[in-house]
């Protein structure tokens, strides 16, 4: 995979454009937020996350979907269990992933952050392929956006405490940070 800084799109990954984005108010990109998602919860490889981020989710397919039917959300990237990466929004645009949030006293993190969703749950371990893809993608993002330092990589739970718990206790922050320091996938 290779990020084109001029367009904000990664080459070598699947593109699945979402309508759920807008322009960044200042154009600044200085924070990376790690999330997890699975639809229905705890089920993987369903393709429902992609449908959800594109406002195409059939809410009659599962009882859980009725509760999220009116949400309009997206992330810049999704990393599936097999390590496949899908991009929904250009990195230059503002994806709708963080919601009500604050980082170091600054509100509305969507304005200055990138969001990566890992297919998973708070409780289930993530896969080796996901850690490898996440490390490679993070390296591309840090190369293009130098303000994303190791200190400015966090979980959704860090910027929305009490409201969000992802990426959850199953996410191995130490493994991820070591891989970033070494400049290679774990």
Give pLDDT, residue 184.
53
Question: Distance between CA atoms of 78 and 117, rounded to whole angstroms?
Answer: 5
- Inter-residue contact 45 to 116 (CB < 8 Å): no
How far is CA 79 from each of CA 61, 85, 175, rounded to the nearest angstrom? Answer: 23, 5, 17
Phi, psi of 7 (to 5 degrees): -110, -20
Quick one: pLDDT at residue 185?
Answer: 43
Grouping H, G, I as helix, E, B as strand and the rest as coil, residue 78 is strand
State the pLDDT at residue 186. Answer: 36
Print pLDDT tens along the chain (186 aa).
999 999 999 999 999 999 999 999 987 999 999 999 999 999 999 999 999 999 999 999 999 999 999 999 999 999 999 999 999 999 999 999 999 999 999 999 999 999 999 999 999 999 999 999 999 999 999 999 999 999 999 999 999 999 999 999 999 999 999 999 887 543
User: Contact at 8 Å (CB) between 40 and 110?
Assistant: no
Catalytic residues: 117
Q: 28-64 burial by CB neighbour count: b if 16+ within 10 A, else e?
A: ebbbbbbbbbbbeeeebeeebbbbbbeeebeeeeeee
CA distances for 182 relative to 53, 72, 162, 176, 177, angstroms = 33, 37, 33, 10, 9
What is the reported pLDDT for 158?
97
- Written as one string, the DSSP assignment of 8-50 is TEEETSEE---S-EEE-SS----EEEEEEE-SSTT--S-SHHH
Strands (DSSP E) contained in 110-157 are 113-119, 153-155
């Amino acid at each position: 995979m290779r990020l084109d800084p001029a367009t904000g799109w990664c080459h070598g990954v699947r593109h699945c454009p979402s309508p759920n984005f807008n322009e960044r108010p200042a154009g600044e990109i200085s924070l990376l937020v790690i999330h997890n998602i699975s639809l229905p919860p705890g089920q993987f490889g369903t393709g429902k996350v992609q449908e959800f981020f594109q406002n195409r989710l059939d809410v009659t397919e599962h009882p859980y979907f009725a509760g999220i039917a009116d949400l309009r959300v997206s992330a810049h990237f999704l990393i599936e269990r097999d390590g496949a990466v899908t991009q929904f929004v250009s990195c230059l645009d503002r994806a709708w992933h963080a919601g009500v949030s604050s980082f170091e006293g600054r509100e509305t993190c969507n304005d200055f952050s990138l969001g990566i969703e890992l297919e998973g749950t708070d409780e289930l371990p993530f896969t080796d392929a996901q850690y490898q893809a996440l490390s490679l993608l993070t390296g591309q993002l840090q190369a293009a956006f130098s303000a994303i330092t190791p200190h400015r990589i966090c979980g959704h739970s860090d910027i929305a405490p009490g409201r969000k718990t992802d990426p959850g206790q199953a996410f191995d922050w130490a493994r991820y940070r070591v891989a970033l320091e070494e400049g290679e996938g774990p």
